[in-house]
Amino acid sequence: MDLSVTIGSLHLKNPVIAASGCFGYGVEYAGVVDLSSLGGIVVKGLFLEEREGHPAPRIVETPAGMLNAIGLQGIGVRRFVDEKLPELRARNATVIVNVCGTTIDEYVEVSRILSDADGVAAIELNISCPNIKEGGIQFGCSLSGTFDVVSSVRKATRLPIFPKLTPNVTDVASFARAAEEGGADAVSLVNTFLAMVIDIETRRPKISNIVGGLSGPAIRPIAVRMVYECRQVVKIPILGMGGIVDARDALEFMIAGASAVQVGTANFVDPFIWPKLLDGMRDYLQRHSLARISDLIGTVDVESKHKEWISS
Amino acid sequence: MALDVAAEVLANLPLSADFNRLSLAAPAIAAATAPGQFVMVKANTSHDPLLRRPFSVFEVLRSGDGTATGLTILNKRIGATTRLLYDAKPGQRIACLGPLGLPWPVIDAGTKREACLVAGGVGLAAFAILAEALVARRVKTTLFYGARTGAELFSLDFFRERGVSLVLTTEDGSAGEHGRVTAPLERHLAERRSAAAVYACGPEAMMAAVARMAMRFACVCHVALERVMGCGLGGCYSCVVPVRGEAGGFHHLRSCIAGPVMSGAQILWE
């Protein structure tokens, strides 16, 4: 059975990718998972400089999910290239770097540095972090801003670029189209949903940043809908994510139109999830007599062509 | 390397209306656990609550020949997971990931120092295995242990049987000295000074006070932090603690992998 998928010029051995912000720099997990067994690893978002992020508390649990406002703590792109990338390369990980910027110039500069480094497979442009004012969300919430960031980085690198889109807009599909027009090789969606939790006893917000991004199974049906909507209007591949906790969830995103999936919050609950996801995908292909997982992408049957399935 | 085990509940001993001691059949984790390390526990298989919770490995259970057979956690009923753990039934399975984190540095008797363990409430859980390790090295060990009330001072015999001196305090005066654990500790450190190595685990305000006091008396001080944690492996960056950087700045360190045991002097206490 063939689990490989193609995202633009990037060939992945399977469609299961660790989501940014949920897998550290990858090296943290080398003791529990064979990093080379994943389709890819999107490392934690990087600016040019180091950042310390928000004070704790940074997370709070919610029904079937969690709220986070980490504030893009990170070691900066140069330290990443010097200190983390060599180990990732040695472990044969497919490394996708989540690139952040406060200005278009910063996105371009970080992307250039990564293009010159050995061992980066692709760039995910973070234009969607909900938790910091200057973290690209001003680009990700504007169609022209999305186009400008993508097209500027496009001129600066040959690496595949995947803008990561925010769901906190009225029409995500129009942003996917702006990214495509800007020269993106694929789009990642969705980032987290802006949300808030208040302690009614103290009347204080439960995280220091007051608001944060909601992830986990609670958001999955919305994310699936957004992947489906984007699939209708763009030709570039989609990396789908939002609350995937097992192979069935991952397959749902692929049927909705995702060429690959990212898994984030579920890795916190079960760091040994990765082989289980791949096994579940193989079981599904076998059960449905499919040779290639790529044959599943975007095959959602909205016209009920197969009425016999419904009646049975 | 961390292991994930669907550990059977061997026993659930209620200690009070809010505390219990849960024995879990996780022999491989128990055998690999060093003093101060923790496990990430999930008591349900559903998505509510979703995340695991961190717990100090309280005791390593051993068979007659010394083989590790399981571990215990000291649980205080506060939220959803701790309620499930309070109500857990023998035979039930509980997901247990570990051992995780950096352990306590265990001092040697040869240095002529003594160990002062300072526990506040459920923070006691970080000290049973440490006490065993210190006693095995013939280090003179005293446990300063504070609780709200006498009924919430647990496992005293465990420490007594191993030759640990106990200094108890309660906030309501129902057992031991009336007041906070820092009062007898201060008298002790004032006398012993740098001969004492201090280990603290408990409420953050207590650890901050102990760390400052230790600095004042030139004592080495380690604390075991209890931060809100998402993953326990360094992936989520939720459990950070501010530590002193160069040139007056600060850094956020992940207490799961740069801790939970850290130098008390390193931390920028609020």
Give the residue numbers spanning the domain of B177. 109-226
Chain B residues with CB-CB distance to A24 below 8 A: 233-235, 237
Cβ of A118: how many Cβ atoms within 10 Å? 8
Greatest alpha-carbon span in chain B = 55
Q: Is B130 exposed, middle or buried (0-12, 13-18, 19+ CB in 10 A)?
A: buried
Distance CA B142, CA B135 (A): 10
pLDDT at position A311 over 60: no
Identify the DSSP state of B105: P
d(CA A116, CA A109) in angstroms, rounded, equals 11
Domain boundary at B55, B72, B100, which? Answer: B100
Residue A63 touches partner B, C-beta closer than 8 Å = yes
DSSP A48-110: SS-B--PPSP-EEEETTEEEE-----B--HHHIIIIIHHHHHHTT--EEEEE--SSHHHHHHH
CATH value at residue B181 = 3.40.50.80
**Residue A265 touches chain B, beta carbons under 8 Å:** yes
Q: Which amino acid is at A101?
A: G
* B7 and B69 inside one domain: yes
- Residues 6 or more apart whose Cβ sits within 8 Å of residue A252: A220, A224
Phi/psi of residue B58, each to 5°? -75, -65
B:199-218 residues touching chain A, CB 8 A cutoff: none
Q: Are B67 and B131 contained in the same domain?
A: no
Q: Of B189, B206, B226, which residue sits at a domain end? A: B226
Contact between chains at A24 and B4 (C-beta distance less than 8 A): no
User: Are both B96 and B113 inside the same structural domain?
Assistant: no
DSSP state of A297: T
What is d(CA A186, CA A269) in angstroms, rounded to the nearest whole number?
Answer: 28
- The C-alpha atoms of residue B227 and residue B239 are separated, in whole angstroms, by 5
Rounded CA-CA distance B24/B36 in Å is 17
**B119 with B84, same domain?**
no
* For chain A, domain boundaries: 5-53+69-196+213-311
Domain identity same for B113 and B220: yes
Tell me the whole-structure pTM to 2 decimals.
0.94
Assign domain A5-53+69-196+213-311 to a CATH class: alpha beta
Kind and range of the H or E run holding B204: helix B204-216
pLDDT digit string, tens, across residues A164-214:
999 999 999 999 999 999 999 999 999 999 999 999 999 999 999 999 999
What residue in B sits closest to A208 (Cα-Cα)?
B238
ipTM of the prediction:
0.93
| Closest partner CB to A56 (pick from B2, B227, B234) | B227
Asked if residue B114 and residue B81 are part of one domain, the reply reads no
Do B66 and B164 reside in the same domain of the chain? no
Structure tokens at A186: 């694929």
- Say how many domains are in chain B: 2
Q: What angle do CA B255, B257, B263 make, to 5 degrees?
A: 55
CA torsion angle B85 B87 B89 B92 (round to 10): -40
The CA distance from A180 to A234, in Å, is: 7
Note whether residue B240 is domain-resident: no
Are B30 and B92 members of one domain?
yes
Contact between A31 and B2 using a beta-carbon 8 Å cutoff: yes
Q: CA nearest B84: which of B55, B57, B127?
A: B55
Per-residue pLDDT in tens (0 to 9) along chain B, 270 residues: 899 999 999 999 999 999 999 999 999 999 999 999 999 999 999 999 999 999 999 999 999 999 999 999 999 999 999 999 999 999 999 999 999 999 999 998 876 689 999 999 999 999 999 999 999 999 999 999 999 999 999 999 999 999 999 999 999 999 999 999 999 999 999 988 888 899 999 999 999 999 999 999 999 999 999 999 999 999 999 999 999 988 888 999 999 999 999 999 999 998
Q: Report CB contact under 8 Å: A56, B240.
A: yes
At B231, list the tokens. Answer: 């993953």
Pairing of strands B19-25, B68-76: antiparallel
Q: Per the domain annotation, does B261 fall within a domain?
A: no
Residue B171 to residue B180: CA distance in whole angstroms? 6
> What is the interface size between A and B, counted as CB pairs within 8 Å?
96
Three-state DSSP class for A264?
A: coil
B197 in A contact zone (CB under 8 Å):
no
Using a CB–CB cutoff of 8 Å, tell me whether A21 touches chain B: yes
Burial class (CB in 10 A: 0-12, 13-18, 19+), A280: middle
Residue pLDDT, tens place only, A238-276: 999 999 999 999 999 999 999 999 999 999 999 999 999
